[in-house]
C-alpha cells in the first residue's frame, strides 16, 4: 500500500486477468525463493517502474474465490521515482474516504473497511 498526501496509489486489473475491472493495491505473486518484501519490490518495479521500500505489514487475508484461493499480504510502502503504468493498466491516486466507492476484489473488503474507518 502506497499512500501519499492522504491518497492511495491504485491500479485497475486489466482485461483478461482474474477479477478484471477491479481496483487493487499494486503488487503480485511471490516467486519461489523470494521473500514477500523481495517480491513486492520486484512487482512494483515491473508494474510501475518505481523503487520501493517495504514497511510494516498492515493486513493479511486468505480468501476463496470459486476459481482459486488467494493469500494476500498488504504492506505499507514508500518509493522513489515517478509511478508509470508499465503494463497498460489504469492508475489513480484515490483519497481514503473515496476507497469504498470503487470496485475492489472481495478479498480486499476488510482492508478497505479498516482504511476508511480511520
Residue 65 zone, left/alpha/beta (φ > 0; ψ -120 to 50; rest):
beta
Which pTM does this prediction carry? Answer: 0.92
C-alpha atoms less than 13 angstroms from C-alpha of 1 in its C-beta half-sphere: 23
> How would you write the pLDDT of the chain (118 residues) with one tens digit per residue?
999 999 999 999 998 888 999 999 999 999 999 999 999 999 999 999 999 999 999 999 999 999 999 999 999 999 999 999 999 999 999 999 999 999 999 999 999 999 998 6
CA angle centred on 45, ends 96 and 28, rounded to 5°: 65
Per-residue model confidence (pLDDT) at position 117: 87
pLDDT of residue 21: 95
Q: What is the pLDDT of residue 8?
A: 98
Query: Which of the four CATH numbers 3.90.79.10, 3.90.1310.10, 3.10.20.30, 3.40.640.10 does domain 3-116 have?
Result: 3.90.79.10
Residue 53, beta-bridge partner list: 78
Q: Which of 95, 109, 114, 110 is nearest to 22 (CA)?
A: 109
| Nearest partner of 19 among 107, 83, 93, 100, judged by Cα | 107
Q: Name the residue ranges covered by the structural domains of the chain.
A: 3-116
> What pLDDT is stored for residue 118 in this prediction?
62
Amino acid at each position: 500500500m502506497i499512500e501519499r498526501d492522504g491518497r492511495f496509489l491504485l491500479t485497475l486489473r486489466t482485461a483478461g486477468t482474474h477479477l478484471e475491472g477491479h481496483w487493487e493495491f499494486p503488487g503480485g505473486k511471490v516467486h519461489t525463493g523470494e521473500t514477500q518484501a523481495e517480491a513486492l519490490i520486484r512487482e512494483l518495479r515491473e508494474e510501475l517502474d518505481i523503487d520501493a521500500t517495504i514497511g510494516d505489514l498492515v493486513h493479511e487475508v486468505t480468501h476463496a474465490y470459486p476459481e482459486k484461493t488467494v493469500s494476500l499480504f498488504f504492506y505499507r510502502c514508500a518509493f522513489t521515482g515517478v509511478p508509470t503504468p508499465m503494463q497498460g493498466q489504469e492508475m489513480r491516486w484515490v483519497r481514503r474516504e473515496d476507497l469504498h466507492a470503487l470496485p475492489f476484489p472481495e478479498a480486499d473488503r476488510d482492508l478497505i473497511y479498516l482504511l476508511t474507518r480511520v
